[in-house]
Amino acid sequence: MQPAAKPRILSGIQPSGILHLGNYFGAIAQHLELQHAHPGECLYFIADYHALTTLRDADALRANVQDVARTYLALGLDPQKATLFRQSDVPEVTELTWLLSTVTGVGLLERAHSYKDKVANNIRPSVGLFTYPILMAADIVLYRSTHVPVGKDQLQHIEMAQDMVTHFNQAFCPDAPVLQRPEPRLSKYPYVPGIDGRKMSKSYGNTITLFLSGKKLRKRVGQIVTDSTEFGQPLPLKTCTVYKFLELFYTPKELEDIAEYYRTGRRDGEPFGYGHAKKLLIERMTSHFADARVRYEQLVKAPEEVENVLREGAVRARKLARATIADCKRACGLL
């Protein structure tokens, strides 16, 4: 194995809708942190090839790609430290997908939870949906990534990528392996619930998007499902979805007080109910994303600035990709 000299961090996010709190706390927040810890070694891409497995609207796809890029930049991605690019700007990834597919068993793909879930939800699977994990493995190994920061739902895909690396190296280059084994990296909040208590996901329609504010935010937070505990009675802490959201935003010290309101059903002698808890969430979420929201609005008016970042990112990413593809092809006997 040729260990990468330094950690190389890589992650992808699908442009299948507007980004939400699950994406932020599960993935994006640690992407942004890592750019400071490993400047020059972080690659984040917008997985537009992946999105084609579910999105069949060219204008919507283009708009979503811009939106994801804008959101990352608004939240603080620094293009001097991290490379942000569009997956399809590095078409070598599809070539590597083919090479990996020749060493990947059908049985491995059949075990993928996300594939099985989609089939169980009556989505007629395309070959692309079935081989999605191979494209994802290619994304990872093409850049010789060592760490892949993601939410919990992606762990199985990374394990599959590890298997593909092993199979490829064993099949084609056992004495001088060319592919690097990646490790997953979970954030502090690897699982964020949606407003209905299931996993927050664009595909479940249960998200709270990042830059909601004012009336729209109040309306959305109002829709978070709670139980029928009577106003002023103790509220269940462990099962409360609103509390799970509060945990994302408030410090442990602040949460001690909030937990006490829940346990007693009172705050400063007055009854405390879900409406109050939701208000705490709205206040903190509004202030947490205030600066990013302003920057986001500025970027809406500067699409060429966003496009330039993606274009420059692709140039850097493609250079790395070409080197790996050449090594892989040589190992297989294609060069």
Site string for ligand TRP, 99-138 (x = CB under 6 A): -------------------------------------x--
According to DSSP, the residues that pair with 12 across neighbouring strands are: 45
Count residues near ligand ADP (CB under 6 A). 19
- State the amino acid at position 244 in one-letter form: K
CA distance 83 to 79: 6
Exposure on the CB side of residue 237, measured as CA atoms within 13 A: 12
Q: Parallel, antiparallel, or unpaired for β 42-46 and 9-13?
A: parallel
User: Whole-angstrom distance between the N-terminal and C-terminal Cα of the chain?
Assistant: 21
101 binds ligand ADP (CB under 6 A): no
Copy the structure tokens of residue 224. 């978070």
Q: Which of 130, 191 has the CB closer to ligand ADP?
A: 191
Of the candidates 8, 9, 28, the residue with the CA atom closest to the CA atom of residue 18: 28
To the nearest whole angstrom, how small is the minimum distance from the Cβ of residue 233 to ligand ADP? 29
Q: Which x/- pattern, by CB under 6 A, does the window 270-309 give for ligand TRP?
A: ----------------------------------------
Task: Tell me if 22 contacts ligand TRP by CB under 6 A.
Answer: no
Which is catalytic among the residues 118, 279, 301, 329? 118
118 is catalytic: yes
Closer of 240 and 328 to ligand ADP (Cβ): 240
Scanning the chain, the segments in alpha helix (DSSP H) are 21-23, 29-37, 48-51, 58-75, 92-101, 106-110, 113-120, 127-130, 132-142, 155-172, 214-222, 241-249, 252-264, 274-288, 290-300, 303-332
Residue ranges in 46-65 that form contacts with ligand TRP under rule CB under 6 A: 47, 50
CA–CA distances in Å: residue 107 to residues 102, 124, 154, 220, 259 = 13, 19, 18, 41, 46
- Is position 12 an interface residue for ligand TRP (rule: CB under 6 A)? yes
Question: Does residue number 240 form part of the binding site for ligand ADP (CB under 6 A)?
Answer: no
Which residues within the stretch 164-193 sit at the binding site for ligand ADP (CB under 6 A)? 190-192
Which of the choices ligand TRP, ligand ADP, none does residue 191 contact, using the CB cut-off of 5 to 8 A by kind?
A: ligand ADP
Catalytic status, residue 238: no
In the complex, the smallest distance separating the C-beta of residue 225 from ligand ADP, rounded to whole angstroms, is 15
Asked whether position 11 contacts ligand TRP by CB under 6 A, the answer is yes
Cβ atoms of 2 and 180 within 8 Å: the answer is: yes
Question: In a 10 Å sphere around its CB, with 0-12 CB exposed, 13-18 middle and 19+ buried, how is residue 54 labelled?
Answer: middle
Residue closest to 96 by CA, chosen among 30, 29, 49: 49
User: Which residues between 18 and 37 bind ligand ADP (CB under 6 A)?
Assistant: 22-23, 26-27
81 included as an active-site residue: no
Residue placing its CB nearer to ligand ADP in the complex, 15 or 273: 15
Determine which one of 81, 199, 244, 329 is catalytic.
199
φ and ψ of 93, to 5 deg: -65, -30
Residue 287 Cβ vs ligand TRP, minimum distance, rounded to whole Å: 28
Residues that bind ligand ADP (CB under 6 A): 13-14, 16, 22-23, 26-27, 150-151, 153-154, 190-192, 199-203
Task: Catalogue the active-site residues.
Answer: 118, 199, 202
Residues near ligand TRP, by CB under 6 A? 10-14, 47, 50, 136, 139-140, 148, 150, 154, 157
